[in-house]
Structure 1
Amino acid sequence: MQDSKLVYSTDTGRISESKTPQARSVSKDGVVRITRETKGRKGKGVSIVTGLGMDETALKALCTELKKKCGCGGAVKEGTIEVQTDDRDKLKTLLEGKGFTVKLAGG
């Protein structure tokens, strides 16, 4: 057998392999939201940026820029950017400078 990874279904026959699309965080109203989260982080605050609607490479580039400007760490997880800072106002001004409409969500 040439291709040993074939998958068959009794209903439709051969099922082609499809790549799952990358997770994206897209807001319905086009607004980028910055929330603060401490849950599961031993009281340390993390700002989470959602609703950007960019592909993963663009998110990583934006995350790197935000981390450099804020002087902190961070990561891209499941289509959102996590920045290890409580300074949401600084993140808001940086994102507004990029042309995004930004709201501070949560307390």
Structure 2
Amino acid sequence: MADNDWKARLGMVYSTDPGFKYETADEPEAETLPPARQDLRVWLDRKQRAGKVVTLVKGFVGRDEDLQELARLLKTRCGVGGAAKEGEIIIQGDHRDRVVDILTRSGYRCKKAGS
């Protein structure tokens, strides 16, 4: 942490200990596994989506930037919208077969799961 990173220390109480070093609780981002070691599950989901169907890809292990890149690839190839957040990729519509095909061709291990 840089000495001038005061925003990370907001709420910190002053310490009189001359040897005190403030440490943030930032966890290092997970290392992205290579595609052959990823174990992805492709789900079909209707919950909390006003009856609309979405395809969920769960089980990605790695950095958020890599998850966003994979989501961009799937959305482009399927020609639909979607999002990537909290380790999941959401693709609008029922595209399970196509997503599984795209992922396996890209070298990922994946299976259909759920209903």
**Secondary structure of residue in 2 paired with 1:102:** strand
The amino acid across from 1:70 in the alignment is C
Q: CA 1:49–1:84 in structure 2 vs 1: closer, same or farther (change >3 Å)? A: same
State the shift of 1:66 in Å: 0.5
Matched pairs, number: 100
Q: Which runs of 5+ in 1 are unaligned?
A: none
Look at both structures and tell me which one has the larger radius of gyration over its CA atoms. Answer: 2
Equivalence for 2:69:
61
TM-score computed with the length of structure 1 as normaliser: 0.77
Distance in 2, matches of 1:36 and 1:66, equals 15
Q: CA 1:22–1:84 in structure 2 vs 1: closer, same or farther (change >3 Å)? A: farther
1:55-91 residue CA offsets vs partner (Å, 9 max, x unmatched): 1111111111110110111101101111112020000
- Structure 1 runs of 4+ aligned residues shifted over 4 Å read 20-23
1:15-71 residue CA offsets vs partner (Å, 9 max, x unmatched): 622224568xx9xx9521001111111111111101121211111111111101101
- Check whether the contact 2:54–2:90 (CA below 8 A) recurs between aligned residues: yes
**Secondary structure of residue in 2 paired with 1:75:** strand
The amino acid across from 1:69 in the alignment is R
Point out the structure with the larger strand share. 1
Point out the structure with the larger helix share. 2
Distance in 1, matches of 2:54 and 2:82, equals 9
User: Is residue 2:40 matched to residue 1:41?
Assistant: no
